[in-house]
Homo-oligomer: A and B are copies of this chain.
Amino acid sequence: MSILSKLSFKDQAFKLRENAILDATTDILKDKGYDLMTMDDVANAVGISKPSLYKHFKSKEELIGEAMIRLIDGAIDFLDQLDRNLSPIEQISAMLEWALRVRLEGGMPFLPSTSAHVRDMLTRNLKYVARILKLNHQLEKLVSKAQKAGDLNPDLPSDVILFSYYSRTCDPAVEFLQRYSKLDNEAIIQHMLKVCFAGLGGPNHAY
């Protein structure tokens, strides 16, 4: 047992530090963005040296890719663990609410509306793309059901709904409101949900 347990203990420590690295990465990424985040930043934040960091991730691209994958996995897990009794629209709404709350509490959007650079990088990352496709597949099914139930507009193409929905999870209006309005986080969430599903129009609007 001794050798095996030692190995697994080491592995555990390794995994633990890997998580600390990803935490730091997500954190720095959040307020510096891809290009301004340096590998030294991450190493310093974790309290290790750069070569040690490279023992875990062989490049900056890989590091950021893994951080993004972890965020997507968080979203997939959230969706999986939702109460199965919730209707499709309730699940869709709960997921957006969760994403907005994560962001307001200092987290990263799991689908960044990022620069060309970052988008290209992630598109080349097959592991990341696979996760996205998985998440997308699940949401497609929910959207389709919600449209049939009349809870999402059946006249809109489902692409339009899906892409618009994704955009809401990383809507910059959230940060604007947090910075420049006096609304508290919960109020912001409720308003963003309302805007997402009911739109900006009032009772007399033509649409």
Q: Does A204 contact B (CB under 8 A)?
A: yes
Q: What DSSP secondary structure best describes chain A's contact surface?
A: helix
Q: Are A35 and B117 in contact (CB under 8 A)?
A: yes
Cα separation A199 to B207 with both chains bound (whole Å):
10
A207 — which chain B residues lie within 8 A by C-beta? 194, 197-198
Q: By the criterion CB–CB under 8 Å, are A200 and B116 in contact?
A: no
Chain B residues within an 8 Å CB radius of A149? 202, 204
Interface size class of A (residues with CB under 8 A): 35 or more
Stretch of A51-59, A60-68, A170-178 that contacts chain B: A170-178
A180 to B162, CA, bound (A): 12
A36 at the interface (CB under 8 A from B): yes
Partner of A197, one of B34, B159, B172, B201: B201
Given contacts A197-B201, A204-B150, contact A191 B113 (CB under 8 A): no
Contact between chains at A205 and B152 (CB < 8 Å): yes
- Is A49 part of the binding interface, using a Cβ–Cβ cutoff of 8 Å? no
